[in-house]
Structure formats: structure tokens, C-alpha cells
Structure 1
Amino acid sequence: MYISSLTLVLSMCSNLVKGSIYQNGQLRITNYPNTKVNRSTYDFQTYDADAAELSYKGRWDSNKVSFWSAAGLVFGFTGDTVAITFGGATIDTTLIGYRISGMDWNFTNVTSGATHMLVTPETLGVDQPDPFNPQRFELRVSNWGYGVQIDKVHVAAGQSLIKIPNFNRTIEFIGDSLSSGMYTSYESMSGFAYGVGAGLGDTEYYITAYPGICVTDQDCWGNPRGQVHQWFYTTDTSWRGTKLWGNNPEPWDFSKQETTPDLVVINLGTNDNNSANNVTTSDFINAYTKLIQGVHGKYPKAQVVVMQLWIGFYQNGNSFSQNLGYEQELQDIVAYFNSPEYLSAPQIWDGTTNTTTTLDSPSESFVHYFSTKGILQHNDIGPQWHPTDVGAIKVAAHLIQYIRLKFGWDMVATGPE
């Protein structure tokens, strides 16, 4: 078929105006289905947000409000209906991803105070349950700055929720916008941290990350506190946390986590390294060291991976070279935690009490270094100085292989995702 150049150009312009996005030749939906329903017209079996059958992933405060990145909710259910009523602290239009069992993600924008029907008899896969396992429902919040509040969970009358056992291994990411997936297509649900957690398969993952934050405890890009302090709290540094908790944020109760991380990956320092934030090298080293001590205090059996920073590329002659920040400093921090000096008298840090304690018993080596050199090329960094979707996938793929080789974690994702 012959298509004139003008027709082709007009077609391309039309697509640009509509904002169409194509992936693998298929149009990606961006006008998500409206799932809001009138709750009074349904006969539901209703559960409160603190029902024992519900498993909250990541950090949710005591009022069941989500914070940080890719916070999730998981539960099993009988029947073919699931609806959720979102509380008043939900930010209107927050985009959530949701799915049953191993099916693909669906997306919808949710509304404060509204009930959204997320599973119906027409939902793909709901009519083909696993005879040995209950249907598994999973929800994830796609954005770090927005959040939802769970008020009620509903299933069809006569049906019930079921507690889903946790996976046997857990990974936590502590980071900034790079771990949050800033500027990727689905933000927190398409960043490299999510790619690792979900890509490994049968793994619990928490992403305690927020854009612009430093590890150093000072203002960075509007974040009033750094991760050396904020990681110990339920809320992130967003305006939502201040609105709900004022100047007395809720400390995170580590004892209430359903699973304790076996592996913690830290990707921090990009914002500290920016001259606009005026962070001294000594303050950075001190804060990063204390954060690792804090992780070791809360998760004494966890292995810690320190990621080498990637800070974009610059033109170098007729090619490009990668900017690296705090390269020697990060390697020195890792070396310190592997030194006889530290291992013989390990110290832990508590960011809520600002105290350092020396443990009575020696520690085995638990801190490792992951080099990002050579993973990304200059066009893997978007115009806004963050990885593209492809760049995020590259980092995730290499980090998964590092974890597999270093810690013996099998890759068990065999179809879902």
C-alpha cells in the first residue's frame, strides 16, 4: 500500500497530539478504566483495613496510609469479586496497579472516599483459579508522592478473604529518585528497584525511597531530613507526612514487619553529590556510615549492598563518559565495614534516639559493593537526568545477576510479570 509522505507526517502529528504511546507495536492504555462504583448497590462481605487476612507491603502508617515507593497490599480471596473503599487520606487520582495471581497488571486512578471495583466475574483469569491455592490479589501504589488510605476491603456476599503466606526471602531498597523510578513510564512500578524485587520472583520487596533526598541529614531539594534519619520513620519527607503527622512523625515499628529483609540495597549519594545542596564529604561519609549501622541494628542478619553511583554522562571529545560521584568514598565505607576494627567491635545506630551502641559480640562481614560501571550508555539517561525505562531495566538485570552470583538467590520468576 502506498502512503504519501504528507499522510505519514499528519498521522505522526496526530499521534503526538493524542499522546499515544506504543510498546512492542501495541498501543499502551493511558486513559485508564473508571472503576468507581456505588457501594450501596452491591451485596458485599466487608472487612476493615486492619483485618488479619491483609498483608501490607512496604510502609503504611497506623491509619493504613501508604508512604514511600510502591507500597503494596496482598490478600487471598474466594469468589470472583474484589472492591476496595479508599479512605479520606487518599490523594485523588492516585494511580494504582492491581492484579490477580500471575496475570498482568491493570491500572486505575482512585478517589478519596470512593469504592472501586477491581475484580469482577469478567476479570481475566478469575474464572481459572489454581485448585491448590487461593486467588491472590495484589495492589501497588505507582507514585512516591501520592498515596492511598485503605478503609474497607470487600468481596462478594458469602465469600471471604484468605491470608496469603509471605515469600521466603525479602529485599529492601533504600534510595532516592533513582530507586523510586522517577520519570519512568509507571514510576515506582517501572524503576530499577521494582524491576529487581518483582523480577526475582517469589520475593517480598520494600522500596524505602523518595526523590531528592540525601543520606546526609539536611535539606536537599525540599526534603527537610536525610535518610540517616528518615529511614527510621513510617512517613517519607513529603507534605503528606507533615499534614497527617505534623512535627511528630510516626517511628517505623520494625518488629511489626511481616518479613525481615535478608538483603538491603542502598543507592544514595547522588543528591549529596550535587553542589546545590552544599553537603560536605565528611558529612556524607558520616551519614552513610551511620545508615549502614542503623540497618545492621534493625536487621542484624541482613546483607547490605552499596551501589556505586551513576550521575549521567558528559561529552568527552567525540564520545561520552560517565560521571561518578563519591567513588572512592563509597569503596572506603565498604572497606571500613569489612575491617577487623569494625568487625571486632561493631556499632549500631538508632536514628530516632540519635544514639550509637557498640555490640558485645563480633560481627561477620555483611557489606558489599556493586559497581555500575559499563551498565548504562549516555542515551539510557533521559533528558531529566534519570534512567529511561530501558536504562532501569539494564540496571535491574545486572543487579539481579549480581545477587544471584553473590548470594545464591535463584531466579524463580517463571511467567508472571
Structure 2
Amino acid sequence: MFFSKLSYTLGLCCLAAGTILQNGQVRTTNYPDIKIDVASYRFRTYDANATEISYKGRWDSKKVSWWSAPGLVFGFTGDTVAITFGDLTTDTTLVGYRIGGMDWSFTNVSAGATHLFVSSATPGVHETWPFNPLPFELRVTNWAYGVQIAQVHVAEGESLVRIPPHQRTIEFIGDSLSAGMYTSFEGLSSFAYGVGAGLGDTEYYVTAYPGICVSDQNCWGNPRGQAHQWFYTSDTSWRASTIWGDAPEPWDFERQETTPDIVVINLGTNDNNSANNVSTATYVDAYTKLIQGIHGKYPKAQVIVMQLWMGFYASGNSYAQNQGYEQELKDIVAYFNSDEYLSAPLVWDGATNTTTKLDAPSEPFVSYFSTRGIMQHNDIGPAWHPTDVGAIKVASHLSQFIKLTFGWELVATGPEIFHETLYWNDEQNY
């Protein structure tokens, strides 16, 4: 999404302080401090490369997390789970964690420290239905921050158990709108997470970072665009430049746990901002290359192109929704579903800057999702990004679009998706 450098800086300040603002007022959080002295416990310890641990999203070879809402999942026996975080963890990173389908809990983690996430007092730890063994899930909330996994611990005599991945997978490629910037729990309040987790029985990856363009150029301090960066493990953050310098790791598409069946793209709000000086031709070329890259890496995946929403403006005695690149996006969708492309499909590799032809023709694989009318002006916050309610509305509509278009049933029938959105009024006399 487009935003000023001042608002970007303020956003980072809020992250650093671990503060959640709710309509301009500080929300009470009181996250528990679960840091422990590992010497006081008798653990069975697994290193970060243990095959029982499934890493969700993009993690590099140092087991450092990147992009939005990366996480890990594993099963465990007993009633104890602790994790030691490596020195490349950003101090005070807020993580969400839970066992089974329980509600999310949150804590701030520290580099080099061990945190006790599950104990005998954790709700649900002694229940064996519907999950046995119990699955543990951890997700990084902050798009700008990350953690490094050093070790995972369970009680002495107990074990980690690998949880098989779900049968279907969805990936989101985007900017701050997909990353969850300015929503309450960022990555765990974004519309992308809401779709991925809300579908149920689905793996989800959110390869999104605020301020980034699809065009491969500097946008709001991001040195590269998604037409290039999507092919790499790390994002365009200051952490990436500190840890990897000028030689980031290419993402190993062959080794990722599952291959996406659906890829959703929401990119262009930063390209459309005049401050970034992106021409329409450059945008169309970069967007086309990104889809060619997706088709090359995931030849069986369906691609959803999202219509951009760019806030609202006062119009007479009401409001109207800003649009950007509307016809260009429709033309891109039409091109990829045309005989011209499908008879001789081209694929792009942003890591090597090369275009090649696929050996066989393709079937139509690109759809257009209209966002018109989903949100109204009060669903966009003062910093030009969706409120929690706005994100939920987009997630709900997109989930239904996926169900109707591809036949994906919504099978999440209980686990919490969006945290702290349970509001009600029980005052009857007003």
C-alpha cells in the first residue's frame, strides 16, 4: 500500500515498543513473560533441523524467519514445550502460539533466550480430542521482525512428532495490505492470513512486505520489487541486508514443504504512487513477469489477480473508492488466458533474469477477483490500510470466491482465526 515515510517510521516505532493502538488509544496487552532458565528443567532437546519440525512460510538455512506470518508446527507428547531462540532473533518480537485449535496466546521473545510455551497448566494440554498427538503452532506476527530457532524442548522422556502437511496450499504475494500493516496483530490480522487459516485444512504462505512494488525498483526504501524478490528466501528489510548483505539465498522451490494450488497477487498500490515514478508500461511488464515466474515454478497452480483498492475519497455527499491499474490488470488476465500465451507459455526466473518457454501448452489458470463494494470508507484506517473489520470483510469475500470458483470447501469449524475480535453488547436498556 502507499504511505508516507513518516507513517512507515511511526509503524516501526510502534513495533519496537510492542504497543497496539486501538482507535488511537493504547490497548492493554499484558502478555506473559514466559522466559525460563533452561538449567532448571529436565528436557529432551531437538535442534532446529529436526525432521519432526515443519516450517511454514519462508525460513532460510540459518532457520531465520522472513516475510509475513511465518511459523512452525509440530506434534508433541507430554505437557511441556519450550523453544530456545537464536542470536539472530529480533528482540521483543511478538509471536502468537497455541496448541490444537485453542485461541492464540502472545508473548515477546528474546534473542538467546528459552521460552516455555506449554506447561501442565496450559488450557487443552490434557485433552486428546480431536488432536492426538497435540499439535503446537507458533507464528511470527511482525512483518518487519523475525526469529531464529535454535532448539525445541519437550519434557524428558517425551517426543516431538511430525505433523503431515495439509492437502491444499495457498500463497499470497503482496505488499503491506497482505502483510497486515496497521491491523492489530499484523500478520495474524491480515486478510491473507484470514483466508489461509479460515479455509481450514490448508497450508498458507504470505510472501508480502510493506512498501514493495511489483516493479523491480526502489519503492519506499525497498531496494527490489516482487518481480525479483519473490524468488528469494528473505524479504527486502533491514534485517535481510544485515544478515545476508548483497547475497541473499534464492528460495528453493523444490524443497518447500508443499506446492501452492492457488496463488493470490495483490500488488500495485505502491507502483501507482507517483512518489515511486513507476510507468504503466513498467508495471505491466513486471506484473506479467511475476505471473510467468509463478507459472514456471508452480505450473499447476491457479493464479488470482486482485483488483486494487486504494482508499476512498469524498465525492459529493458520499464517498467513492479509488482504483488503480484496473484496465491493465484485466488486460493481463486476458493475456494469460489467451491462445497466444497458452499455446506457447513463457516463464520468467527473477533470480537469473531469464525468460524461457514451457515444453507443453497450458490450460487457462488466471482469474480476476473484484474488490469493488467489499469495503466502505470507514473500513480504511487513518494510515490508508484496512481496519481489522476491513481485513475480515476482504478475507470473507475472497474465501467465498475461492469456494465458488475452485470448489474449495470451508472446513475450519471451530479454531480461532482472528484474535480479540469477539465483541458484543449485553446492555439492553439504552
Which category describes the TM-score, using the shorter chain as reference length?
over 0.9
1:244 corresponds to 2:224:
no
How many residue pairs get aligned? The number is 396
Partner of 2:427: none
C-alpha distance in 1 between matches for 2:248 and 2:392: 34
C-alpha distance in 2 between matches for 1:281 and 1:85: 47
State the 1:129 CA deviation: 1.9
Partner of 1:6: none
Partner of 2:410: 411
SS in 2 for 1:51: coil
Partner of 2:54: 55
Residue type of the alignment partner of 2:356: T
Is the alpha carbon distance of 1:154 and 1:391 closer, same or farther for their aligned partners in structure 2, counting shifts above 3 Å? same
Partner of 2:338: 339
After TM superposition, the structure 1 = structure 2 runs for residues 65-76 of structure 1, keeping only pairs within 5 Å, are 65-76=64-75
Give the alignment's TM-score, normalised by structure 1. Answer: 0.93
Partner of 2:283: 284
C-alpha distance in 2 between matches for 1:122 and 1:136: 16
SS in 2 for 1:255: coil
Partner of 2:350: 351
After TM superposition, the structure 1 = structure 2 runs for residues 18-417 of structure 1, keeping only pairs within 5 Å, are 30-130=29-129, 133-417=132-416
SS in 1 for 2:68: strand
Residue type of the alignment partner of 2:414: G
Residue type of the alignment partner of 1:342: Y
C-alpha distance in 2 between matches for 1:22 and 1:358: 50
Is the alpha carbon distance of 1:332 and 1:56 closer, same or farther for their aligned partners in structure 2, counting shifts above 3 Å? same
C-alpha distance in 1 between matches for 2:359 and 2:110: 51
C-alpha distance in 2 between matches for 1:333 and 1:339: 10
C-alpha distance in 2 between matches for 1:132 and 1:385: 40
Q: Deviations over 1:279-299 (max 9, x none)?
A: 000000000000000000000
Q: Deviations over 1:252-285 (max 9, x none)?
A: 0011111000000000000000000000000000
C-alpha distance in 1 between matches for 2:144 and 2:91: 12
For the 8 Å contact 2:20–2:184, the answer to whether it is kept is no
Q: CA RMSD in A?
A: 1.4
Residue type of the alignment partner of 1:230: Q
State the 1:347 CA deviation: 0.4
Q: Deviations over 1:74-129 (max 9, x none)?
A: 00000000000000000000000000001000000000000000000000000112
State the 1:414 CA deviation: 0.9
State the 1:133 CA deviation: 2.2
Q: Deviations over 1:233-261 (max 9, x none)?
A: 00000011111111001000011111000
C-alpha distance in 1 between matches for 2:277 and 2:361: 36
Is the alpha carbon distance of 1:21 and 1:151 closer, same or farther for their aligned partners in structure 2, counting shifts above 3 Å? same
Give the alignment's TM-score, normalised by structure 2. Answer: 0.91
C-alpha distance in 2 between matches for 1:269 and 1:224: 16
SS in 2 for 1:290: helix
C-alpha distance in 1 between matches for 2:162 and 2:320: 50
Is the alpha carbon distance of 1:236 and 1:33 closer, same or farther for their aligned partners in structure 2, counting shifts above 3 Å? same
% identity of equivalent residues: 73
Is the alpha carbon distance of 1:340 and 1:295 closer, same or farther for their aligned partners in structure 2, counting shifts above 3 Å? same
C-alpha distance in 1 between matches for 2:133 and 2:96: 20
SS in 1 for 2:246: coil
C-alpha distance in 1 between matches for 2:55 and 2:130: 25
C-alpha distance in 2 between matches for 1:187 and 1:103: 20
State the 1:28 CA deviation: 6.9
For the pair shown, the structure with the greater C-alpha radius of gyration is: 1
State the 1:358 CA deviation: 1.2
SS in 2 for 1:324: coil
Is the alpha carbon distance of 1:230 and 1:316 closer, same or farther for their aligned partners in structure 2, counting shifts above 3 Å? same
Partner of 1:14: none
Residue type of the alignment partner of 2:95: I
State the 1:361 CA deviation: 1.1
For the 8 Å contact 2:100–2:131, the answer to whether it is kept is no
